Amino acid sequence: TVSVVLFTSDLRLRDHPPLSAAVAAGDYVVPLFVRDAAIAASGFAAPNREAFLRDCLADLDAGLRERGGRLVVRSGDVVDVVRGIAARARAEEVHVAAGVSGYAQARERRLVRALEADGRRLRVHDAVITAVAPGAVTPSGGSDHFAVFTPYFTRWSAERPRRPLRAPRAVRVPEGVPSGRIPRREAVRGVAEGLAGGGEKAGRALLLSWRRSGLADYAAHHDDLPGDATSRLSPHLHFGTLSPAELVHLAREKYGPGSDAFVRQLCWRDFHHQVLAARPEASAADYRERHDHWREGTSAARDIQAWKEGRTGYPVVDAAMRQLLHEGWMHNRGRLLVASFLTKTLYVDWRVGAQHFLEHLVDGDIANNQLNWQWVAGTGTDTRPNRVLNPVLQGRRYDPDGVYVRRWLPELAGLAGRRVHEPWKLGAAERAGYDYPEPIVGLGEGLARFKGARERG
């Protein structure tokens, strides 16, 4: 038999159930990636992710070639392309990982119908993009998903992800299906200077080095801004160059109890994915609490611009926003505090912030981004939707010596210690020596506006 494997957010060879099933099922496999015209047109594509994706495709192709195969790359409507390739290769089955977003779910439905019409079958594999499949655990009481993290974590932790699958030894691609061209990373414009490299090999190298040097410190230090003790595996999880099920397995079986805090974060990822899978509209619409009083107009536009550029006058906010522009990535503590600042202190709609993040984040992901934004904005799954993070206290707590701020705000490099978190407190003469803006809003003023708006409902 001949099968097609449609790669989507699972650009790896290890622990890849669709590929392993296709190889086990028969003689020939067409490993296919479609540069989907609908995604390109949706505005979801961004230069940082495009560059990282090209690394992933080149690496996937190299890995397949080491096994006697190659990657087939096409552009166009994904259903038309799959249909055409399956017909050309005389494939009986098409394998794909179960999708999570509304778009991925619609793609699956269209593929089933189109392939059925041609007498072919779509085989959809669960728990490829997440460690535990969305819907595999549900709350008692009949709801189709968990809306609160802690009970989800308890149920999720009781699941045993499958043992990771090895990469297939050999992949034989039928003749008569040309490979197509993998575009070069260097040709992408507007890529962040400090962007990490993509691909399964790069992901595994990062995993191994972090396991040696970072994992032991993770529980105690993952919130420290300057220490940067988190894994930075998020783009690899977004593009699927690493398997989340394998990471959970490795953490539990090999890395031991010291990895619990890390596993909990992987569970957060699955949590948001199962919310989105059940409520795809939550990518744009308020999930639980609806709020309509977001600021708009000229003064809001000016504040949004200052936030995007990292010029709000709050050093830790600005440092995190500049990290985003420079690396296409931001520390989780930074994401939390800049999102709180935008949605609560400035009272700007979370969708504005989520869109800006998606334009820059190399790990920009509909489930994780939109639902984390909703969580922070108080429209989503946070059980304390009115908490507001104070940027000065956050700075002092997570960057006590100001190292992170000085790293990203060279204009404040001369300000030693924690004084860097409140430059407005300097005397006028000293203040004049720093080319750094005054705060765009007072924290008290922001808090009063937030409370007023929430009281109005």
Minimum CB distance to ligand FAD, residue 173 (Å): 31
Minimum CB distance to ligand FAD, residue 75 (Å): 25
Q: Does 343 bind ligand FAD (CB under 6 A)?
A: no
Site for ligand FAD in 237-256 (CB under 6 A): 237-238
Tokens matching residue 19: 């590929």
Site for ligand FAD in 307-336 (CB under 6 A): 332, 335-336
Ranges of beta strands (E only) in 351-421 are none
Q: Are 156 and 45 in contact (CB under 8 A)?
A: no
Site for ligand FAD in 204-223 (CB under 6 A): 222
Distance CA 388, CA 368 (A): 20
* Binds ligand FAD (CB under 6 A): choice among 246, 318, 327, 365: 365
Tokens matching residue 347: 């009272």
Q: Which residues contact 55 (CB under 8 A, 6 or more apart)?
A: 185, 197, 198, 199, 202
Q: Does 360 bind ligand FAD (CB under 6 A)?
A: no
Of the candidates 1, 23, 261, 20, the residue with the CA atom closest to the CA atom of residue 128: 20
Minimum CB distance to ligand FAD, residue 369 (Å): 3
Residue 30 or 206: the one with the smaller Cβ distance to ligand FAD is 206
Site for ligand FAD in 376-415 (CB under 6 A): 376
Q: Which residues contact 329 (CB under 8 A, 6 or more apart)?
A: 196, 232, 234, 235, 323, 361, 362, 363
Q: Does 234 bind ligand FAD (CB under 6 A)?
A: yes
* Dihedral sign (CA 210, 216, 221, 223): positive
Residue 30 or 354: the one with the smaller Cβ distance to ligand FAD is 354
The total number of residues shown for the chain amounts to 457
Q: Map residues 258-297 to x or -, x wherever contact with ligand FAD holds by CB under 6 A.
A: -------xx-xx--x-------------------------
Task: Specify the stretch interacting with ligand FAD by CB under 6 A; choose among 41-49, 66-74, 303-311, 363-371.
Answer: 363-371
Backbone angles phi, psi at 414, to 5 degrees: -80, -5
Minimum CB distance to ligand FAD, residue 93 (Å): 30
Angle, CA 89 vertex, CA 87 and CA 90 arms, to 5°: 60
Which residues is 225 bridged to in the sheet?
none
* Binds ligand FAD (CB under 6 A): choice among 8, 20, 231, 259: 231
Task: Specify the stretch interacting with ligand FAD by CB under 6 A; choose among 64-72, 104-112, 162-170, 361-369.
Answer: 361-369
* Binds ligand FAD (CB under 6 A): choice among 81, 339, 342, 389: 339
Residue 31 or 395: the one with the smaller Cβ distance to ligand FAD is 395
Q: Does 12 bind ligand FAD (CB under 6 A)?
A: no
Query: One-letter amino acid identity for 427?
Result: G
Q: Does 20 bind ligand FAD (CB under 6 A)?
A: no
Q: Are 215 and 262 in contact (CB under 8 A)?
A: yes
Tokens matching residue 151: 């009970």
Query: One-letter amino acid identity for 452?
Result: G
Q: What is the DSSP string of 1-36?
A: -EEEEEESS---STT-HHHHHHHHH-SEEEEEEEEE
* Binds ligand FAD (CB under 6 A): choice among 81, 137, 361, 440: 361
Q: Does 49 bind ligand FAD (CB under 6 A)?
A: no
Q: In what order do the strands lie in the sheet with 93-97?
A: 72-76, 28-36, 2-7, 93-97, 121-125
Residue 171 or 336: the one with the smaller Cβ distance to ligand FAD is 336
Q: Which residues contact 166 (CB under 8 A, 6 or more apart)?
A: 14
Residue 34 or 229: the one with the smaller Cβ distance to ligand FAD is 229
Residue 3 or 230: the one with the smaller Cβ distance to ligand FAD is 230
Q: Does 373 bind ligand FAD (CB under 6 A)?
A: yes
- Binding region for ligand FAD (CB under 6 A): 222, 230-234, 237-238, 265-266, 268-269, 272, 332, 335-336, 339, 357, 361, 363-365, 368-369, 372-373, 376
